[in-house]
Structure 1
Amino acid sequence: MSPLAEISSSYAPRFAEFAFEPAFTAAVDQHVAELRERLGVGGPELHPRPPHPEDLADYALGFMDALTEIDWREPVGHDYAVCRLTAISWLVRRHDLIPEPREPGD
């Protein structure tokens, strides 16, 4: 499974928390903005460009590796890592960055 698919399957369910956790929503929004800047897709446009899937996947792999190194475990609430992983998932969903599986012979 690709890192983007793995993160999305784990953290997209947290989008439901946006309805009743405004602080979490704001934190994820800030992480999305930081990721756009880091990946060079931020800017003054009304509709920012989508990140390149390879760039976001490379970032996600590095972030997950760093979490493994510090033996991070997902908390009950929201910490920096949960917000960042949810932001990655949001970008994936918003820009449809996970391609549909191909049928054999395509």
Structure 2
Amino acid sequence: MTSCVLTKVCADFERRFAEFAFEPGFAAAVDQHVAEIRERLGAHSAGLEPPAPDRTALADYALGFVDALTETGWHEPVAYDYAVCRLTALSYLVRRHRLVAPRT
């Protein structure tokens, strides 16, 4: 179950990485969300290269976030909003730290 939610989030949101090239505001917002998630999960450090977040903790956080979005009836917009930024940040952390196997 741990990797299922992370795999699903990546499958749905890693395609948004391409938008970083032409949406600097989106890239900056996702960067801030990455930092906030790291802080929330205690995966921050003073070093230049932050450690990988705990996969189980990240999956639990992602599952709670996705469940909350489902309960509110959220649908992904064409543009980006808070939820898109957060889900893209989760995807980034998963891919950056290879927390689940890449899609083939």
Give the TM-score category using the shorter length: over 0.9
CA distance in 2, matches of 1:64, 1:45: 31
Q: How many residues end up aligned between the 2 structures?
A: 100
CA distance in structure 2 between the aligned counterparts of 1:32 and 1:97, rounded to whole angstroms: 15
Query: How big is the shift at 1:72?
Result: 0.3
Paired amino acid for 1:15 = F
Identity of aligned residues (%): 61
2-structure distance, mates of 1:50, 1:23 = 25
Mark the runs of 5 or more structure 1 residues left unpaired by the alignment. Answer: 101-106
**Structure 1 CA distance for aligned equivalents of residues 18 and 70 of structure 2:** 26
2:43 pairs with 1:41: yes
CA apart distance, 1:99: 4.0
CA distance in 1, matches of 2:46, 2:79: 32
Q: Would you identify which runs of 4 or more consecutive aligned residues in structure 1 move more than 3 Å? A: none
More helix by share: 2
Report the counterpart of residue 57 of structure 1 in structure 2. Answer: 59
**Aligned-pair distance for 1:2?**
0.3
Aligned runs of 1:17-32 on 2, under 5 Å? 17-32=19-34
Larger Cα-atom Rg:
1
Corresponding position of 2:83 = 81
Distance 1:39 1:99 in 2: 21
Partner Cα distance (2:74, 2:41) in 1 = 24
Distance 1:76 1:17 in 2: 11
Q: Give the secondary-structure state (helix, strand or coil) at the position aligned to 1:41.
A: coil
Partner of 1:14: 16
CA positional deviation for 1:43: 2.5
Aligned-residue Cα RMSD (Å) equals 1.2
Q: Can you give the 5+ residue segments of structure 2 that lack an aligned partner in the other structure?
A: none
- TM-score where L is the length of structure 2: 0.93
